[in-house]
Amino acid sequence: MQAREFMVDALIVVPDRSVRDLAKLLLDENSDGACVVEDGRLVGVVTTMDLVFQEKKVHLPSILSFMDFAIPLEPPDRLRQELEKIAGTRVREIMSTDLVTVGPDATMSEVASLMVDKHLTLVPVVESERVLGVINKQSLLRATL
């Protein structure tokens, strides 16, 4: 069983796409991630976990609760600024560039080992620097049936 038999179409995005647009795309396509391609070449991978970790970098203002009143301990514009920072972030700022890829002839056993050992949610299938597809968790499940 080879990667070419179980790969699915890859979502392809460009590095300058906004993180907000990426999040919408991943939700609309029910996908765990996308390949980031520039000039026809794979330059990164971005996953839903990258989005989650990006949001963890946001500083939410501290609030004191006293007798059913919420008293902000920081300027009220701080939350708005932090949320705008996320909205203005580009894919290139959060994508993983330490790429783990496989060729179309890789065995599904090899791909599964990579995904488990490196905690990956998807692995691009690449040939001559061109993305052919991806192996995701569902691909692995199909290979076991």
State residue 129's pLDDT score: 83
Residue 137 pairs with which residues in a beta bridge?
Answer: none
Per-residue pLDDT tens over the stretch 87-127: 678 899 889 999 999 999 999 999 999 999 998 989 999 99
Q: Which residues contact 2 (CB under 8 A, 6 or more apart)?
A: 104, 105, 106, 107, 108
pLDDT computed for residue 56 by the predictor: 47
Q: In sequence order, which residues have a C-beta less than 8 Å from that of residue 13 and are 6 or more positions away? A: 22, 25, 34, 35, 36, 37, 46, 91
User: Is 3.40.1410.10 the CATH classification of the domain at 3-144?
Assistant: no
